[in-house]
Amino acid sequence: MFSITVRDHMMVAHSFRGDVFGPAQRLHGATFVVDATFRRPELDDDGIVAAALLHDVVEHTGVETDDVYGRFGEEVGRLVEALTEPEGVEPYERRKELHRAQVEAAGRRAVAIYVADKLAKLREVRAQYARAGERAADALKAPLDVRVRLWEEDLAMARRAFPELPLVARLEAELAALAGQREADR
């Protein structure tokens, strides 16, 4: 039995849907401490689900990639390492560029997880944009124009590396939809 426990991971409430989160889901900056455990009798066949969850754990908690290698093995460890942003690299755009390159070098599975991660964030931003317009950028680490350019670069990498991945077309469609939303607001 494998389990992944995320403890004391702060999450922005407005990222969640449903009545269980109450009025806090509409407050920017509201946070919850989450104690969630994911259990499976065995890891998924290719380690994608575990790596997708664990790379965020490494980025946002005290868990280190060495811990992941020790607990989940070489295959998942390599994916998590590739998917974890490099630390201490500034400016933001350079960090994202290096991250994108390390993901591409790690291969198809890493790119698939990376694109899924970008797609999820882009959908979240689009939903926030529908409510708040350009103020949706307040929840991002960079201005919206910068984030859009970086997502376009992510898309270009995925198209070049693995154009057959189904999520590549979805990422492209979401970027086009965000551009449409922004154009309609101008």
Residues in the chain predicted with pLDDT less than 70, given as ranges, are 1-46
Per domain, the residue ranges of the chain are 91-186
pLDDT for 34 equals 46
pLDDT for 110 equals 95
Model-wide pTM > 0.85: no
pLDDT for 3 equals 52
pLDDT for 63 equals 86
| Tens digit of each residue's pLDDT (9 = 90 or more) over 85-135 | 999 999 999 999 999 999 999 999 999 999 999 998 999 999 999 999 999
pLDDT for 45 equals 65
> Over the chain, what HEC string results?
CEEEEEEEEEEEHHHCCCHHHHHHHHCCCCEEEEEEEEEECCCCCCCHHHHHHHHHHHHHCCCCHHHHHHHHHHHHHHHHHHHCCCCCCCCHHHHHHHHHHHHHHHCHHHHHHHHHHHHHHHHHHHHHHHHHHHHHHHHCCCCHHHHHHHHHHHHHHHHHHCCCCHHHHHHHHHHHHHHHHHHHHC
